[in-house]
Amino acid sequence: MSEKQGRQTEISRRETEMYRVNVIQSEMANAVRFIGGEGSAKDQITRAARAAGLPITVVERLRWKKIKRVPADIADAIREAVERHKIEEQNRAKHEQFILSKRLEVLEAQLLELNPDRYGPEIDALRRQVDRLRG
């Protein structure tokens, strides 16, 4: 192998490593924003730190991509917090869906009580929506 080929391989390895570092930095910054939700950067950082169980300064440095090589334990803590956040969002969505179906059932019962003949099409539409929410 010539000297030039050796340098090209080394540059390639360095570029690959820098690319990997950039990908992890971006992943962590986006995860902090995702976990933090809506609001100012300070609020996002505080919420993300609480959810991940990490110090605020570490999470702040992750959000602004100040940490070049993210330690594995910190990355794992952030990834676990993202998974917990996703599960909580799914549970919240299911709960909201349940509440909506109950409200539609109450509205259906009220329409049946008022005048089933007059509100027949509306009652059928409400039943279809409730079935779609449950199904």
Cα 73 to Cα 58: distance, rounded to the nearest angstrom: 12
Q: Is the pLDDT of residue 9 over 90?
A: no
Cα 52 to Cα 77: distance, rounded to the nearest angstrom: 6
Q: Is the pLDDT of residue 14 over 90?
A: no
Cα 52 to Cα 35: distance, rounded to the nearest angstrom: 9
Query: Confidence class of residue 4 from pLDDT cuts 50, 70 and 90?
Result: low
- The H-or-E segment that residue 71 falls in is none
CA neighbours closer than 13 Å in the CB half-sphere of residue 113: 6
How many domains does the structure of the chain reveal?
1
Write out the residue range of the structural domain in which residue 72 sits. 3-134
Q: According to the model, what pLDDT value does residue 123 have?
A: 87
15-73 pLDDT, tens digit per residue, is 888 999 999 999 999 999 999 999 999 999 999 999 999 999 999 999 999 999 999 99
Concatenated DSSP letters of 15-62: HHHHHHHHHHHHHHHHHHHHHH-SS-HHHHHHHHHHHHT--HHHHHHH
Cα 133 to Cα 111: distance, rounded to the nearest angstrom: 20
84-132 pLDDT, tens digit per residue, is 999 999 999 999 999 999 999 999 999 889 888 888 899 899 889 988 9
Residue 46 C-alpha from the chain's centroid = 16
